[in-house]
Structures are given as structure tokens and as C-alpha cells.
Structure 1
Amino acid sequence: MNEAVSVKAPEIDFNTPQLKRHRSIRTLKDKMAKGFIAAGGVSVIVAVTLIFFYLLYEVAPIFKSASVDAIASYDAPGEKGATLLLGMEEQAEKGLRLNDNGNVAFFNLKDGSVDSATRLPIPDSATLTGVNEGAPGSNTVVAGVSDGSVVIFKHTYKITWPNNVRVITPSLEFPYGESPMALDPSGAALTHVAVRDNNDYLLVVGANASNKLFASFYEKEANFLTGDVTLEESTVTMPSVNGDIVSIQISPDTRWLYIATKSGKLDMYDISNKQSPDLIARVDAVASGSQITDMRFLLGGYSLLIANNRGEIRQWFPVRDTENQYHLQHVRSFQAGKAAIAKIAVEPRRKGFLVATAQGEAAIFNTTAERNLLQAQIVDSDVKHLSIAPRANFMLLQSQDDRLHFWSIDNEHPDVSWSALWNEVWYEGYAEPDYVWQSSAASNDFEPKYSLTPLVFGTIKAAFYAMLIAIPLAICGALYTAHFMSPTLRRKVKPAIELMEALPTVILGFLAGLFFAPFMESHMPGVFTLLVLTPIAILVFSFAWVNMPQSVRLIVPEGWEPLLLLPVICFIGWLSFAISPAVEVALFAGNMPLWLKENLGLDYDQRNALVVGAAMGFAVIPTIFSITEDAVFSVPKHLTYGSLALGATQWQTMIRVVLPTASPGIFSALMIGLGRAVGETMIVLMATGNTPIMDMNIFEGMRTLAANIAVEMPESEVGSSHFRILFLAAFVLFLFTFLVNTVAEFVRQRLRAKYSVI
């Protein structure tokens, strides 16, 4: 009997030098991969955090309040006498003081030492009884004399650089001669005066103690050869005034004359007809029971600032109504404590102003931003006179004890506030408050309009129409490709659609702006005919195909049926544009844009939201399609097979099983597509009118946050308010993206948890 032979299995040595070396290398690779992945993830988090804090760093200064610091205090320089005017040159090194004897002293602002002194060309026995400045920053001054005449002069400052040292030489100029201009024939002292000097006209208005008005109007004629200007005087009839005059102001175009009286009335006269002034409006400019203490034009000569004896300053400007008639509108109010406002000083280059009160307080305001930037105690007594430097970085005031106080001002970004950024603002020249973005203009008197609301609205509008076009096409296409299409055809279609994403958006914007927009304008009925006929044609063809004999349908392999739709869609496209002229004549009187305007009140802009929606939708479709298709295709096959085995149809399986299971991925695709649409720049930049308007009309354009940054950032001054507000726009985009992604992740996790049990 043969005995069984036991064969011992060969032993495998897992600790050979080669295997040990292999395991060591693999362990090292695993650790390196883990380290690189962790470092990459941390780097992304750090980068996003740094971007957040950098944007915040650039944005934060625009909300900083103003501050002031005392520099010097000294006795009023120059000859003794009551001060009528204080002024400063641009570098805030030299100051000017004019007293009632007509003495002008130019002095150094840091110590009060007199640099030079002169006297206005008035009679020795005469004194100055009233002084007023022209346009802010013009350095033009009109002085009323006790003999009923006026003197017009300018204080100028010449800068030279001997031995590379800056030297400022102040002087007086008399553009219309040194001889006083007679205004009041009776020779009574002029207590209030005003002047407007532009390229074509010179208008001087004065009032005496009896509140009687006088005026001289001159038309300018320039000699083209010598450059000399001659004045041709015209007689002017002045209205009668009821009440004690506090201030007189003239609009830059010499059309409007404003007269404020101590009782609180403000009269607005149209003096375009110099022989027959017309009272346009008379309003109570201050609260009942209070008195007007000062009145000044804001920069630009459109808005009036009227102060009262209760610490309030009101802004008024003329508004044209629907009947093309003007009226005075109280726009906004500012409060500088309870004490009477002594003086108003207007910033020469911004829509801001500085006030001083009878209790020695100073307050800084900005009208557009409706912002109180500073309120501080400067002196312990009443303020008699006040001046602000041309750059609004210094102020000079005189207290009751005839001492001058020189202060520096740090007020870099006064024209920005949350209300100006997000709320309606009543801008000068507008019939009502509105949301406006207009960061620059040709005029120095421009009022910056920094409302981000129309930009946010434009961003949402562009994204909405893009997603409206992209979502149904991308989602439905992805569902059919992943669930119904032949695998062979899928391998060709999916890469082809994903390849669309590689097309530069600047090319899409170029084609949309220069080809598709004018094509759509000239074939608009064809576009809408295509949108109507295409789904109808697809349904009709599908119904006909399903009812074809079995022998015919078997000719086409299963899953390749979509190819049959290509000629149908091409034919419908050709037919839609072929019948477009006939449809436009039959339904829209031959001009659809004009018909929309006349019958529906819809304006038509060639580069509009429909163009943007089509172009940007084309750019977003590949993103949504690819992610959605992967999510649907990744649904476990045993779920679909089980559903089909239980008797469900393909569509029932799709709706009841595949869609819920793939919903987290589909939702992620939508959010990523939305983020792409919100952040898109070149398409909306080139395919819209790029106008920041708020209108849901699909035929109007818009401006988005991203496009606005791309357009205006290269032209903005580094560190300016405009520059930082553009960074704020980027910060808003950053926060919007962060918020959308956070919500998307939360919803995705909820969907995953809900349908993970399927």
C-alpha cells in the first residue's frame, strides 16, 4: 500500500531586500503624496484668506472718519481792523487776510509772519462793507465799498524754484482794472455783494443797507489778435426784496439769482431776461422760527447750502418737473450741534463743506454721501471767519479774540458711505433719487456717483438670463447623454461638448458683440420664431418617429436616434430666418424694435441681455453639462437595473431613481455654472451696452461688477476713492461667491445624506 506523500508548500519570503526596498519606496511615495496634497489644500485656504484680507485692507480706508490736528495759533496778521476774508493757496503755506479798511496781508500760515501787504485801490476815506467770493477755487473776490462801488480782484500765487527751493510769491490781480466799478448810483454802502465771472459774461450784484438791489452785467468780447477782453455793459433791472438780506448768490451761467433773508425765506429769480427778472420760487429755507446765518454755493454752483441759528444746514437745488418748470427742492439736511452756524466753507474740488459754530465747534460733511465726517471743538469762543484749503487738507479760522487758528485735516475719502453705495441718492440735476454709477466726467464740478446697486443688479441679470438658457439645455443634454445615448456615440459627444469650454470667452464676446448682436437686431422675428418652432418640430418629429414601422426604426441603431434631429433643427433654423422678414411685416409693422417701443414701451438696445444670455449661456453649458453628465453616469448600475427589472420604464427610472441619486452632483454643477456666470468678464464687457442701468427689460443692456472692474481699474488713480470702491466691488463678488459656495455645499451634503439610502 502506497503511503501518501505530503508536499510542503513553498514559503514566500516577504522580507527580501528587494521587497523591503519596494515597501520603503512606496511608503515614501505615500507620505510625499499625502504631504503634497495637504500642502496644496492648506495653500488654497491660505491664498483665499490672504485675498480676503487684502481686499479688506484696500476697502477699509474709505469708511474712515475725518480727523483734525492743531498746527498753529497766532494774532491776526497785518493791519488792525475787522477781518472780512480769509484765504489760502494750494500748498497751504501762504494765507490771505482782508480787513474792512481794504488792507490785504499775505502771511505764512505756520507762524503768522507777514510776507507782504498791500491795499485795495479804493479811496483813502472809503472802507469795505461787504465781501463775497466767486466760484469755489477760482480765487475771485468782489468787495463792496462804502461809496457804492465794487472792486473785483484775484489773489494769485506764483511758484518758482530758485536753487531747487520752492518759493511762493503772492500777489493781487485786477482782471477788470484797478478802478472801482460804480454800482449804487446813490453812493450808499454795499453790505452784500456777489459776482459771477465766466468766459462770456460778468455779472455783479450788490445790495445796500436798505435791501435795495443793484447790478451790472457785462458781455465779454475778446480780441483774437491781442487777447484783450473788452466789456460791453447792459442795464439790469433788479427785483424788490422783502426782508433783511443775509446773502446773495448767482448761478455760474448767470441765469439764477438767489437771495436769502434773515426771516428764513429763499427767493429764486430767473434773470436771463435782464430787463424783467421773474420770481420762480420762494420757499422757507430753514425750519420755522429759525434764521438764516449763511448761504454758500456747493462746488459746481448748482446746490445751495443754507445754515441757520440752530445748527442745521440744508441743501437745496432747482429741479425741473414734468411740465418743464423749475422749483426749489430741499434735498437733505445736516446737523452740527445746537449752536448757530457762524460760517460755511465749501471744498473747492469735492462735494463737501466745513462749518463752524458760535460755540467754537467745527464739523465736516459730504453732501452726496450724506455723511457727517467730523465734529470737534476747535476754539472756546465764537468763530468769526473760516477758510478751507483748495485741497481740503487744512482749515484756517478766526475766533472772537481776533486770533487765527491753523489746523490740518485728514479726510481722504469723504464721498463714500453705505447709503451712497446701496441706497437711492438724489443727485444734482436729477428729478428724483436714483441708483447711479458714474465715476467720472469731463467737468471738475462733477458729483461722483458710486452706487453699486446697478452693478449688482446687472451681475444678477446677466447671470439669470445666461442660466435661463444654459440650465435646460445642459441638464437635459447631460441626462440624455448619460442615460439614453449609445455608449459609442456618447464617447464622441461628451468630449466634443467639453471641448467647447476651451474656447476663449474673449472670442465669444467678440462674436456676440460684432456679429450676433447686429444679426439679432435685423432678424429678431426669426430668433423668436426659432425659439417657438424648434421644440414643436422636435416633438412632431419624435412622435412621427415613434409611430414609424418597426422595420424602419430598426435601421437606426438604438441610442443613435439624436443624429436624425440634426437635419430637422438645421431646417427649422433656415426656415425661421427665411420667413423672418415676412413675420416682421405681418406682425410688427415691418420694424419689431420700433413696435416694441410703441406698443409695449420696451426700449431696444442692440447689445442687450438676450445677446449676453445666449453668448454666456453657450460658455456655461459645457461646465454644467460635464459635471451633470458625470453625476448621472456615476449612478450605480444595480439601481437602474433593479428599477427596470421591477417593471419601471426608462423615464420612470430616470425620474424616480437616477435624478434623486445624482441630485448632489447636479446641484454642484448648477452652482459652479452660476459662479462662472457671475464672474464672467469679457462676454458681458463686449456683448452689452455696458451701461449701469436697472431694468429687467431683456432688450436692454447692463453692466456687471466684473466688467466694471475690468473697464475702470486701469484708469483709476491708485489710492483714490474710485480705486478703493472698485476693490469693494471685487470684495462683494468674493463674498457672493463664498456665500453661494457655502450654501451649495450645505445643500449638497443634505441631498447626499437624504438619497444615500437608495
Structure 2
Amino acid sequence: MTEPKSGASASLNAMTGFYPRWRLIKDSVARYGVIVGGLSIIAAIMLIFFYLLYVVWPLFIEPSAESVSRYLVPERALGDTAMLAVEEQNEVGVRFTENGRIIFFAAPTGQTLLIHSIVLPESARISSFADGGPEKNVAVYGLSDGRAIVLKHKYNVSYPENRRVITPVVDYPLGREPLVLDESGQALEKIAIRVDDDQTSLVAKTSDKRLILTSFEKRRSLFDDDEDFERTDSILDVPALDIAFILMDKDQRNLYLADSEGRLSFFDIADKSKPVIRQHLNVIEAGRKLTSMVFLNGSISLLIGDSGGLVAQWSVVRDARNNPAMQKIRSFKVSEQAIAGINAEQRRKGFIAVDTAGVAGIYNTTAERELIKTPVSNGMPKTVSMSPRANAFIVESEAGFMDFWSVENDHPEVSVKSLWQKVWYESYPKPDYIWQSSSASNDFEPKYSLTPLVFGTLKAAFYAMLIAVPLALMGAVYTAYFMAPRMRTLVKPGIEIMEALPTVILGFLAGLWLAPFVEEHLAGIFTLLLTMPPAVLVFAYLWQLLPGWVKHKIPDGWDAALLIPIILLSGWFAFSISVPLESWLFGGSLRHWLDAEWGIGYDQRNALVVGLAMGFAIIPTIFSIAEDAIFSVPRHLTVGSLALGATPWQTMTRVVLLTASPGIFSAIMIGLGRAVGETMIVLMATGNTPVMDLSIFQGMRTLSANIAVEMPESEVDSTHYRVLFLAALVLFLFTFVVNTLAELIRQRLREKYSSL
């Protein structure tokens, strides 16, 4: 018979059954926890990617135009259209006729809302008309007796019963009495006007072929609030016989005259009493006619249409003598038919052009991009007008119809060229890569080139890695392989704790202390590079010559500590001799010598400062990972190598480093990722200027710093906002691709050297 089991045996059996099951449960929880955590990280990365793509995608949606309505020209019997315009809400349009009637109508339907007639002096008739630009909604009628009437169309908005009502009004900013421009009473055949708060200027061509310039400048008394106007009259010395177009910029400083053959005269009228001719030139090809000429938004550039269907942008740039001159910077081919009309957008650098066949094209000059091209009219167009928000336009045809169109065109400034290639911006002497995203004026031409930001990102990362990689890897090799274990327990944690320093503190110190220090001791920095390595080598050589009993007093692995005073002394020596050397060799200032002799400028916050500060920030990352990889090399490999007669140095270079190469490569790539994505250091220590200069003495702006600076001030869903997200997407894809390639290389290294 078997004896019954004792209590101890039963307890033992229970425990032996419990612990294996508990271990299996913990293993399962750990396994699934790792799986869930890993999948969650992948899901988070994918969500970040898709969110960035979601915000960026509207930049690449093709613009579209849709016909809303077609109707007869409102009150066509009252006269032919001299100017057509639409107010901001696209609800009210206005038609100025050639005989002095102003007709307001509902833009979508053509229903007449108001008719206003100007009062002409006796025996006078209308001889000319001009639009004074969209900034002030001003227009002018020239009369046959040498006088002019200035009008302004306004739109008062009210909300009775919470319903928006727009009431059109005609105002006379300079009074209802006509202004006398020509004392001799000659008819004004051509006229132009510009009005601002303090000055009004008019240019007119008279029937006896004179070109007169009249300016009214507001004067305020020092002793009371009375205002009066100082009038200035002058005659422009230019044959006015064939002038077909007269344009004056909104600042009333530049005047442009052109005839139908394409001969353009450019005047400086800043001094109204003494206009100065700047340039005579031809702006269209021989054999073609100039059919349309208007200002691009901002009045810096002219849009010139010809009989061959070409619209060219001519802009004022500085010539070799730094004088303003007209220069053709780009052109757009609308069709083979003559250009019938051009109308510029009021808030962006875009325009609409229609040809005589009724085909309209919408373009953006900065992006050099054709956005929309579509037939918009059955008959030959007479005039076209785009709304202030550029989301609608009206075309009037010779057949007596108006076509009202809506436009979806939210981000015309963005194209592959504007983002990545050189663009010739207004007022720039040549095409260039420029990032300048915002200004206080609607006339501003946004510059969204990502190229200088990518360049700055790579430049900052390059100089940081140039400083960090040698120091971190050499330190890791020595710490893991040659250093005494006790000393390693002090050095490794000390370096790793450096990684806990906030980068904002490092950036603060780099910008406020390191940058001025480097500027003041630039010669000392370079002297340090020349004195410290020889000092270390000389000390090492002398150490080998010492007797054995002296060297044996220093335990193995502790001898590197002797280099600390050598490094400190050589550093002190370098900075001490740099002052007399700088005076002797560089005339007292290395910075000024570089600028004078080599043309190398010096910016206080530059790539050298960034390299030192950001290198200090990423050294702990590279050092820690590389040191762990080297230290983890199996001991039997090093012992076997030494036993076979290899020296410690040979063992380290041919066995240890090869075996640890996957980890070392991972350390470098992680450090590169840290350098590329760093924000605060480059934001505070680079000057944050988006320039493309390889010089180590010039600053830069990186993608991450640009996002940090400009995202708070960008309007949600604006082009600026979405381009910043595009910059984030570029940074994301760059790091993703680089890390993916790095992982593939790391796996190849692991497979290659795993058999050692």
C-alpha cells in the first residue's frame, strides 16, 4: 500500500503547478503588451502622416471655374461699358458707361439696383474715362473742355433683421465741381488718376497732343485743423500723338505711357514739378499690336497683352548702375488669338485674361502657373472684371450678354517651381530661392521656396555631425574598450546625463553667451584646433619614453585622466597666443581680414555656433548607443584575437568595431535624426535667416525652426498655413526615408559580421 502524501508534498506540488502557470501568464502579457505597444507606435506614426497629408492636400487640388448665370447687359441702352467691377461679396456689380451713367446691378442676376448720372457742365461732353485702381474704387471722366470729374463707388453694408443688405453709393471725393486740368480748354482724350489720403495725381493727353500732369497735395495748418491743397502742374516732354495707354502706380511715383505698337515710356514722377524720363523700350514682338495693359497687384509690374495671345509681365528692377529699369520677367501664352482684356486680382499676384475668341485663362505670376482655361463667352469679350476675393468674375461680350462665373482657386501661389526652383520675384534683380511668407500689405508677393529651409536643415545637421561624430565615437571606443571599469562607471553616466539638458537652455546659452564668445575669440578657436592635437600627441609620445616604474604607478585604463590638464593648458595657451597672432597676421581682426581678402562675411549667430551647441546636444546620444554596442561585443572574440597575437589596437579595429558596426551605425543615424529635427538650438543660435550660403560663418533657417516661428502667426487653412504643414511633411518623409535606409544597412551589417 502507498502511504498518503504528506502536507509538505501537497504544498510543493501546488507550488510547482502554480508558478509555471503564473510565468506563462506573465510571458503572454508581456508578449501581447509589446505587440500592442509596437502596433500603437506604428498607428500613431501613420496617423501623423495622414493628418499632415490631409492638411497639405488642398494645395494640389486643381482650381475650377463654373458658370453661374448669363443675362443681358443691364440697361444697355444707357451706353456702352467703360468699366465693369464687382464688390467683395459678389452680390453687387457696377457698370460705368461712356456717357456718364453708373449702373449698379445684382451680379448673379443682372437686376438693376441703382442708376446714377453725373452732371456735366454746359457745352461739355465726356471725352475719356479711366479706372483709378481697385484700392480706392475711384474713377475719372475726362471732359471736352479740359476738366475732369472724379467719382468713387462705395458699398455700405447693414444688417436689418439680421440680413445683410449692401447699398451702393456714388461719392465725389474731390467735390462735385469738375477739376480744371487744362487751362486752355482742350479736350482730354486720354486720362489716368491715382488717389490716396494725402495726394491726388492726374495725367491727361489733350486734343492738341500735350501730356499734362496735375497733382493736388493735402496741406494741414500747424495752428488749426483747416486743410487745403497745393496744386502742381507740369508738361511731360514726350510725343503724345500715338499714346494708347496711360498708367500711374498707386504711390504716384512712376508713370507708364505706351502706344499700340508696343513702345513704352517709363517716367519718374516723384517730383511732380520735374518729371524725369527713365526709359524708352519696346515691350512686344515686332509685327504684333499691344492690345491691353494693366497693373499687377501692387503696381510694381505691368501685364501687357498683345495681338498674338501673349501676356507678358514687365517689372521694375535695378540695373547694373542701381537705377530702376523695366525688365520682362515672364510671359504666359493664353491662345493664338489677340488678348481682348486683362484684369488683375486685387489681393494676390494673379490675373484673368480673355482673348477675342471668348477663352479666359486665370494665371498666377509667382507660381508661373496656368490655373484655369475655359471658354467663358459666346461672342467677342469687351471687358472682364474679377471680384476682390478672386472667387468670381464677370465677362461682357459684344453680343450684349454678361456671363457671371464662380471660381474655386484657394492656393494659386503654390507650384513645383515656386516651392523648389528659382523664381524671379518683383523688385529682385534675378531669379532666386527666397522664403518670405508674410507682410503687412496685400500687395506683398509671398515667397514660399522650401529650398533654403531644406538647405539650412542639412547645413545645420552637417556641421553638428561634423563636430559630434568624431568626439562621440572616439570617446565611446575608448570608454568601452580601453578605460578602466571603475573610471567607466563615472564617465559614462556623466556623459549620458548631459542628454537630459533641455535644448532650450542650450540654445539660450548658445545665442547669448557662445555666439558673442566665438565672435570675440574667433582666432582663438582656430588656434585651438592647431595647438591641441599636437599637444596631445607630444604628451603621448613623451609618456611612452618614461621609465616603466613611472608608467606603472598609473593603473591601466586611468592614464587618459592625465590628458585633462594637457587639454586645459593647451586651450589656455591657444587663446593666449591668438591675440598677438591675430594682430600680426590679420591686422587685428580675423573677421575683417576674411571679409576684406576673401569676401567672407561673418554673422554672429552662424553655423559654427550651431555646430558647437548642437554637437554638444547630440554627443550623448551617439556616445551612449555606440559605447553600449562596443561594450557588448562578446568577450571571447577579443580574448581569442589577443591570444592569436593581435595587439589591442588591431583587435579593436578588426574585430570589435566590425562586430559593433550595426550599433555604431544606428548611433550615427539616431544622432543625425536628432540633428535634423532639432528646433530650439537652431532657432536661438542661427540668426534664423533663410539664406543659402555654405560658409560656416553664415546663419540659416531650418524646417523645424521655421515651423516653430511662423505657425503661431499663420491663418488657419491659408496657403501659408498649409505650406508650413508641407514643410513638416517634407521633414517627416526625410527622416522616415533616412531611417528606413539606415535600418536596411544596419541589418546588412549585422548579417555580414554576425559570424565573427
Given the two structures, how large is their TM-score scaled by the length of structure 1? 0.95
Q: Secondary structure at the match of 2:235?
A: coil
Aligned-partner Cα distance in 1 for 2:656–2:208: 92
Q: CA deviation at 1:273?
A: 5.1
**Which residue pairs with 1:686 in the alignment?**
684
1:220 aligns with 2:218: yes
Structure 1 counterpart of 2:59, which letter?
I
Q: Deviations over 1:572-597 (max 9, x none)?
A: 22233333433332222222222221
Q: CA deviation at 1:456?
A: 0.5
Aligned-partner Cα distance in 2 for 1:747–1:730: 26
Aligned-partner Cα distance in 2 for 1:230–1:92: 37
1:332 aligns with 2:349: no
Corresponding residue to 1:95 among 87, 93, 99: 93
Structure 1 counterpart of 2:92, which letter?
K
Q: Deviations over 1:454-503 (max 9, x none)?
A: 10110011001000000110011001111111111112111111111111
**Which residue pairs with 2:424 in the alignment?**
426
**Which residue pairs with 1:296 in the alignment?**
294
CA distance change for structure 1 residues 227 and 432 in 2, over 3 Å: closer, same or farther? farther
Q: Deviations over 1:436-464 (max 9, x none)?
A: 10111233311111111110110011001
**Which residue pairs with 1:417 in the alignment?**
415
Corresponding residue to 1:63 among 57, 60, 64: 60
Structure 2 counterpart of 1:75, which letter?
L
**Which residue pairs with 2:47 in the alignment?**
50
Structure 2 counterpart of 1:71, which letter?
V
1:728 aligns with 2:726: yes
**Does the Cα contact within 8 Å between 1:463 and 1:678 map onto a contact in 2?**
yes
Corresponding residue to 2:304 among 303, 306, 326: 306
Q: CA deviation at 1:284?
A: 2.4
**Which residue pairs with 1:364 in the alignment?**
362
Corresponding residue to 1:701 among 699, 702, 707: 699
Aligned-partner Cα distance in 1 for 2:182–2:401: 34
Moved more, 149-158 or 722-731: 149-158
Structure 2 counterpart of 1:48, which letter?
I
Corresponding residue to 2:234 among 233, 236, 250: 236
CA distance change for structure 1 residues 180 and 213 in 2, over 3 Å: closer, same or farther? same
1:470 aligns with 2:468: yes
Q: Deviations over 1:700-750 (max 9, x none)?
A: 111000000000001100000000000000000011101111211122122
Aligned-partner Cα distance in 2 for 1:425–1:676: 32
Q: Secondary structure at the match of 2:352?
A: strand
Aligned-partner Cα distance in 2 for 1:630–1:14: 45
**Does the Cα contact within 8 Å between 2:210 and 2:235 map onto a contact in 1?**
no
Q: CA deviation at 1:424?
A: 0.7
Q: CA deviation at 1:20?
A: 3.1
Please give the residue correspondences for 1:310-709 in structure 2 after superposition, counting only pairs within 5 Å: 310-709=308-707
CA distance change for structure 1 residues 475 and 716 in 2, over 3 Å: closer, same or farther? same
Given the two structures, how large is their TM-score scaled by the length of structure 2? 0.95
**Does the Cα contact within 8 Å between 1:83 and 1:100 map onto a contact in 2?**
yes
Moved more, 131-140 or 33-42: 131-140
1:166 aligns with 2:143: no
**Does the Cα contact within 8 Å between 2:156 and 2:166 map onto a contact in 1?**
yes
Aligned-partner Cα distance in 1 for 2:182–2:677: 67
CA distance change for structure 1 residues 693 and 218 in 2, over 3 Å: closer, same or farther? same
Structure 2 counterpart of 1:39, which letter?
V
CA distance change for structure 1 residues 427 and 506 in 2, over 3 Å: closer, same or farther? same
Q: CA deviation at 1:286?
A: 1.8
Q: Secondary structure at the match of 2:190?
A: strand
Structure 2 counterpart of 1:19, which letter?
T
Q: Deviations over 1:50-89 (max 9, x none)?
A: 1111111111111222212222222222352111111122
Q: Secondary structure at the match of 1:236?
A: strand
**Does the Cα contact within 8 Å between 1:201 and 1:220 map onto a contact in 2?**
yes
Q: Secondary structure at the match of 1:282?
A: strand
**Which residue pairs with 2:6 in the alignment?**
none
Moved more, 718-727 or 83-92: 83-92
**Does the Cα contact within 8 Å between 2:186 and 2:208 map onto a contact in 1?**
no
**Which residue pairs with 1:37 in the alignment?**
34
Aligned-partner Cα distance in 2 for 1:739–1:363: 39
Q: Secondary structure at the match of 2:234?
A: coil
**Which residue pairs with 2:752 in the alignment?**
754
Aligned-partner Cα distance in 2 for 1:586–1:682: 39
Q: CA deviation at 1:534?
A: 1.4
**Does the Cα contact within 8 Å between 2:191 and 2:204 map onto a contact in 1?**
yes
Structure 2 counterpart of 1:391, which letter?
R
Corresponding residue to 2:268 among 249, 254, 270: 270
Structure 1 counterpart of 2:387, which letter?
A
Structure 1 counterpart of 2:69, which letter?
A
Q: CA deviation at 1:364?
A: 0.8
Q: CA deviation at 1:135?
A: 3.4
Give me the CA root mean square deviation.
Answer: 2.1
Q: Deviations over 1:86-124 (max 9, x none)?
A: 112222222111111101112222322222221123236
**Which residue pairs with 1:3 in the alignment?**
none
Corresponding residue to 1:27 among 20, 24, 40: 24
Q: CA deviation at 1:211?
A: 5.6
Q: CA deviation at 1:134?
A: 2.3
**Does the Cα contact within 8 Å between 1:84 and 1:130 map onto a contact in 2?**
no
Aligned-partner Cα distance in 2 for 1:411–1:228: 47
Aligned-partner Cα distance in 2 for 1:656–1:639: 11
Unaligned stretches of 5+ residues in structure 2 = 1-8
Moved more, 207-216 or 615-624: 207-216
Moved more, 48-57 or 454-463: 48-57
Aligned pair count?
A: 747
CA distance change for structure 1 residues 228 and 109 in 2, over 3 Å: closer, same or farther? farther
Unaligned stretches of 5+ residues in structure 1 = 1-11
Q: Deviations over 1:290-344 (max 9, x none)?
A: 1111111111111000011222100001221231233221100012122221111
Q: CA deviation at 1:517?
A: 0.8
Q: Deviations over 1:327-378 (max 9, x none)?
A: 2211000121222211111111111111122111221111111111101111
Q: Secondary structure at the match of 2:455?
A: helix
**Does the Cα contact within 8 Å between 2:136 and 2:195 map onto a contact in 1?**
no
Structure 1 counterpart of 2:28, which letter?
K
Q: Deviations over 1:24-47 (max 9, x none)?
A: 322222222221111112112221
Moved more, 250-259 or 651-660: 250-259
Moved more, 474-483 or 62-71: 62-71
Identity %: 52
Moved more, 444-453 or 114-123: 114-123
Q: Secondary structure at the match of 2:99?
A: coil
CA distance change for structure 1 residues 421 and 210 in 2, over 3 Å: closer, same or farther? farther
Structure 2 counterpart of 1:110, which letter?
P
Structure 2 counterpart of 1:714, which letter?
P
CA distance change for structure 1 residues 144 and 14 in 2, over 3 Å: closer, same or farther? farther
Corresponding residue to 2:278 among 270, 277, 280: 280
Q: CA deviation at 1:181?
A: 2.1
**Does the Cα contact within 8 Å between 2:341 and 2:355 map onto a contact in 1?**
yes
**Which residue pairs with 2:742 in the alignment?**
744
Q: Deviations over 1:5-38 (max 9, x none)?
A: xxxxxxx999944333333322222222221111
